[in-house]
Amino acid sequence: MTYPPGQASPGVHWELKRNLQKRDHMDITLNNGLSMPALGLGVFQSAPEETTAAVLTALNTGYRHIDTAAAYGNEREVGQGVRISGLDRSDIFIETKIWVSDYGHDRALHAWDKAVGKLGVEYVDLFILHQPAPDRFEKTIAAYKALEKLLADGRVKAIGVSNFMPHHLEQLLDATDVIPAVNQIELHPYFTQPEVQAADAEHGILTQAWSPIGGITFYPGWGGEDRRNVMQDPAIAAVAQAHGKTPAQVMLRWHLQQGRSAIPKSIHPGRIAENFDVFDFELSEAEIAVINALHSGVRSGPDPDEAREERFALVIPEA
């Protein structure tokens, strides 16, 4: 599906209007009063040539929140999807992330120029640090101070972090003024990070789940032979069957009912729709407890405390 920049097909406009009227969704108010749709579309590993169509499909389905990152290499295509959707910019919540090679105060300010240049927008709704740089934490702090300046200047509406453990949060809070609105972390039934969720809650930081349907437990090229695919978990399958829903829908409902934001990724229209069709059923406390009990304590993604030098080799191109 390709659309010329700046135009949408009449069909897309019509669908959007229809969906705007029947827009089922759930908003979360962040600690600075900003409203954010709880469920968003993730685009990590969405190839640039697939991203615009995925974003358009999501917006057409009713999503109003997209999560991207400088490091994903598809901010430009996200912006294209937003523009050709025909929706008002103010109706779409755009979240993006600064990569570690752009940490430090001035580099982080320039990372904003690069992000808005690629996205083709005047402001970013939520701008976050992609991960702590544990071996260069002073640069992480300096980058966050740049986020504070962008916030004060009205160039971003909220700021936050990702992959911060409680001790990273403590170090950050000691050195800065604005409490992050969001901490985006690996969170699916097999790895729920209760200690990070507790630290977030203590400070009024919203926990946002990445790999909310467990992508990191099954996408190709990650993890060892012994990893378990949460999408195939029998306990989740049983809950799904009881509600006539899919495992992905049950996991997303599990996040939402516990007050978290979730940003499932898909490039397939059927799955994009499936992942948004989660507002017409409710899990019981017992079902939530069953899913919470699946927590293994074993992380599938990278350890945020591991200083991996190769991350700094990724240079984020100019807009």
Ligand X SMILES: NC(=O)c1ccc[n+]([C@@H]2O[C@H](COP(=O)([O-])OP(=O)(O)OC[C@H]3O[C@@H](n4cnc5c(N)ncnc54)[C@H](OP(=O)(O)O)[C@@H]3O)[C@@H](O)[C@H]2O)c1
The CA distance from 184 to 91, in Å, is: 22
Q: Which stretch binds ligand X (CB under 6 A): 75-83, 112-120, 263-271, 308-316?
A: 263-271
H or E segment to which residue 145 belongs? helix 137-152
The CA distance from 212 to 248, in Å, is: 9
- Which of 74, 255, 265, 283 lies at the binding interface for ligand X (CB under 6 A)? 265
Judged by CB, which is closer to ligand X: 175, or 267?
A: 267
* Cα pseudo-dihedral 116, 106, 314, 306, rounded to 10: -120
**Residue 159 binding ligand X, by CB under 6 A:** no
**Can you list the positions of beta strands (E) in the chain?**
27-29, 35-37, 41-42, 65-67, 93-98, 124-129, 156-162, 182-186, 206-210, 261-262
DSSP letter at 42?
E
The length of the chain in residues reads 319
- Which of 62, 132, 189, 215 lies at the binding interface for ligand X (CB under 6 A)? 215
- Which of 216, 236, 240, 316 lies at the binding interface for ligand X (CB under 6 A)? 216
Least Å from the CB of residue 259 to ligand X: 18
**Residue 271 binding ligand X, by CB under 6 A:** yes
**Residue 75 binding ligand X, by CB under 6 A:** no
Of the candidates 72, 103, 144, 190, the residue annotated as catalytic is 72
**Residue 263 binding ligand X, by CB under 6 A:** yes
Task: Report whether 231 contacts 225 (CB < 8 A).
Answer: no
Judged by CB, which is closer to ligand X: 68, or 171?
A: 68
Q: Which residues are CB-contacts of 137 (< 8 A; sequence separation ≥ 6)?
A: 168, 171
Least Å from the CB of residue 43 to ligand X: 5
H or E segment to which residue 43 belongs? none
**Residue 125 binding ligand X, by CB under 6 A:** no
Least Å from the CB of residue 289 to ligand X: 22
Task: Please give the size of the binding site for ligand X, defined by CB under 6 A.
Answer: 29
Q: Quick one: which of 280, 210, 291 has its CA closest to 247?
A: 291
Q: Which stretch binds ligand X (CB under 6 A): 135-143, 146-154, 215-223, 291-299?
A: 215-223
DSSP letter at 191?
B
Judged by CB, which is closer to ligand X: 24, or 303?
A: 303
Least Å from the CB of residue 7 to ligand X: 26
Residue with tokens 């640069």: 139
Task: Report whether 213 contacts 225 (CB < 8 A).
Answer: no
The CA distance from 1 to 50, in Å, is: 9
The CA distance from 58 to 40, in Å, is: 9
**Residue 304 binding ligand X, by CB under 6 A:** no
Judged by CB, which is closer to ligand X: 101, or 163?
A: 163
Least Å from the CB of residue 201 to ligand X: 19
**Residue 268 binding ligand X, by CB under 6 A:** yes
**Can you list the positions of beta strands (E) in 49-144?**
65-67, 93-98, 124-129
**Residue 290 binding ligand X, by CB under 6 A:** no
Respond yes or no: is residue 72 known to be catalytic: yes
**Residue 190 binding ligand X, by CB under 6 A:** no
Per-residue mark of binding to ligand X, 16-55 (x: CB under 6 A): --------------------------xxx-----------
The CA distance from 164 to 183, in Å, is: 7
**So which residues are the catalytic ones?**
72
Q: Which residues bind ligand X (CB under 6 A)?
A: 42-44, 67, 130-131, 162-163, 184, 210-216, 219, 231, 246, 248, 263-268, 271, 274-275
